[in-house]
Amino acid sequence: MKKKLTFAIALLLLALVIGLAVLYFHKMQQMQEMVEILEFEKEQLTDEYEDLSIQFDGYQQMDIRNDSLQEQLAIEQQRVHDLLEELRITKVTNARRIAELKKELATVRSVMVGYVHQIDSLNRTNERLEKENRTYRRQNQQIQQQNNELQQKNTHLTETVTRAARLEVTGFDATMLNKRDKKTKQFSQIQKMQFTYTLGKNITCEPGLKQVYMRLTRPDGEVMLKNNPQRFNFESGQLESSISQEIEYAGESVSGTMYWIVEEILQTGKYTADFFIDSQHVGQYSFTLSK
């Protein structure tokens, strides 16, 4: 009887040991499966963090033209980098921290969506502004071109009006006089040169007193001048006149006479008389002296 009891207890203990062993192996199998699941989740989460980091790199390389937004992106990019490094060193058995990192990923993604919207809006605004700037530049170029054309027309009109208002010497005669103020053809008797000129009719010219300057040039090209010659403005400088005369001009044709007293030895050849009024060259005539 006693042997039977001992045998029964032994069988019971053996069954208990076998049951515990089966339970242990079952738990171990569950733990292994759980570790594999956690490893898969960690790998998947790591890939998602790396993808997000690559996206941030792409946005950082874009020409965003917004310093504040660029700075916020840099902060979030560093945050993703730090979380990724933490994830890599976190053990797969630390399910709690992995779950927290997963929540962090969702938060960063949500923030990134907001940045993406801002970037898209900023890009659209920049594109619109660039388009408007191109339009404004094109319009400004057109306006500038129109202004240049108008300025050219105004300049041409001003030149036309100036030419129209310019006086012109329309008649000229050179007479050689002797010492009795009589006309002479004898070269050796010339004591005075008489120059008669005519200003043509011009109703567009401003009436009033006009100072007529004449420059008399000898055959050798030298301008004949007296002491302290009268000077006048012409183009960008001043010229000296051989003779000058003030004449009243009222828009109608008018004549005047000027004299050159011969005090030098005259040359034979071609002489030139240039007339200037109001800083403008208004006529050129020539005559010849011969023995």
Same domain, 193 and 270: yes
Same domain, 175 and 121: no
Same domain, 119 and 211: no
Q: How far apart are CA 55 and CA 73, in angstroms?
A: 11
Q: How far apart are CA 139 and CA 88, in angstroms?
A: 59
2 in a structural domain: no
Residue-by-residue pLDDT tens, the chain, 291 positions: 666 667 666 667 666 656 655 555 556 565 555 656 666 676 776 777 677 777 767 666 666 666 676 777 677 777 767 776 776 777 766 777 777 777 777 777 767 776 666 766 666 766 776 777 787 788 778 878 877 776 776 555 444 444 545 789 999 999 999 999 999 999 999 999 999 999 999 888 888 999 999 999 999 999 999 998 999 999 889 999 999 999 999 989 999 999 999 999 999 999 999 999 999 999 999 999 998
174 in a structural domain: yes
What CATH number does residue 183 fall under?
2.60.40
112 in a structural domain: yes
Same domain, 177 and 247: yes
Among 127, 159, 191, the domain boundary falls at: 127
Both tokens of residue 4?
A: 């039977």
Q: For residue 211, give the nearest of 261, 282, 273 by alpha carbon.
A: 282
Report whether 280 contacts 217 (CB < 8 A).
no
Q: What is the pTM of this model?
A: 0.48
Q: Which helix (H) or strand (E) holds 52?
A: helix 2-60
Same domain, 82 and 185: no
Burial class (CB in 10 A: 0-12, 13-18, 19+), 127: exposed
150 in a structural domain: no
270 in a structural domain: yes
248 in a structural domain: yes
| Amino acid (one-letter) located at 85 | E
- DSSP string of 183-246? B---GGG--EEEEEEEEPP-TTSPPEEEEEEEEEE-TTSPBP--SS--EEEETTEEEE-SEEEE
141 in a structural domain: no
3-state secondary structure of 139: helix
User: What is the number of structural domains in the chain?
Assistant: 2
Same domain, 285 and 185: yes
155 in a structural domain: no
Domain range for 264 is 169-289
Same domain, 176 and 104: no
Same domain, 26 and 101: yes
